[in-house]
Amino acid sequence: MPKITILPHAEICPEGAVVEAEPSKSVCENLLDNNILVEHACEMSCACTTCHVIVTEGFDTLEESSDDEEDMLDKAWGLEQRSRLSCQLRNLSNDITIQFPRYTINMVSELHPNKNNLGAEDKKSLSKDDFSVSSSAVSHLVEMMKSNPGSNGIRISLKDSGCSGYAYNLDYVKDEDPNDYHGNFSGVDVYIKDTSLIFLKGTELDYIQEGVNHNLVFKNPNVENECGCGESFTFSNKPFAELK
């Protein structure tokens, strides 16, 4: 059977490993079968990027990637020419060597530096450096809250966007999620999903007028590219580069 050599990765496989690949199973399944706990947030349905690996040897022997895999890979962190989604890699005919990217989106909540640096009761507090809300945005959020009596605040998270990359998601909070980060901005409670915070670090939420339109605008220094319609965006690697 072909072998998969896994290069060391601090969290997933600190010593590195070599495993025999059952060809009928995906690389992701083979890794999990050998207790190498690669992320697989979408349960291997080609709907996330958390199983991303870089095939450093044997790339040319692999079956070609599908359009769906290519589309998902465009959203992956640390994308390289030899990147693949391990859940989509099957039917290995030769030995390969793989490397995990340094971070995946699912690792972020555990790796965010604030979690290690703050006292227990402050672990989930937003600092000014994390996120801020302009006075005009506060006024708008107050109006939003008035139209949704019973809500306890606004929750901000990121979601995959069908257009390109990510989009912001705003929800009204009824029941707080203890994993969320929280800040009170002039009386308005804002919650940020823990895995989204690193991508929002340094963001100011503003409310601006353009012609006859008023919009909430995220002034996010981590955004690298926006799609033509302005609905979705991709991030630079800066947030991960700052994690040590």
Q: Does 17 bind ligand FES (CB under 6 A)?
A: no
Q: Does 51 bind ligand FES (CB under 6 A)?
A: yes
Q: Would you call 56 exposed, middle or buried from its count of C-beta atoms within 10 A (0-12, 13-18, 19+)?
A: middle
Site for ligand FES in 52-111 (CB under 6 A): 72, 85, 87
To ligand FES, the closest distance from the beta carbon of 120 in angstroms equals 33
To ligand FES, the closest distance from the beta carbon of 84 in angstroms equals 10
One symbol per residue from 201 to 220: x for binding ligand FES (CB under 6 A), - otherwise; what is it? --------------------
To ligand FES, the closest distance from the beta carbon of 46 in angstroms equals 5
One symbol per residue from 26 to 45: x for binding ligand FES (CB under 6 A), - otherwise; what is it? --------------xxx-x-
Q: Does 200 bind ligand FES (CB under 6 A)?
A: no
To ligand FES, the closest distance from the beta carbon of 117 in angstroms equals 31
Three-class SS string for 55-98? Answer: EEECHHHCCCCCHHHHHHHCCCCCCCCCEEEHHHCCCCCCCEEE
Q: Which stretches of the chain bind ligand FES, using CB under 6 A?
A: 40-42, 44, 46-48, 50-51, 72, 85, 87
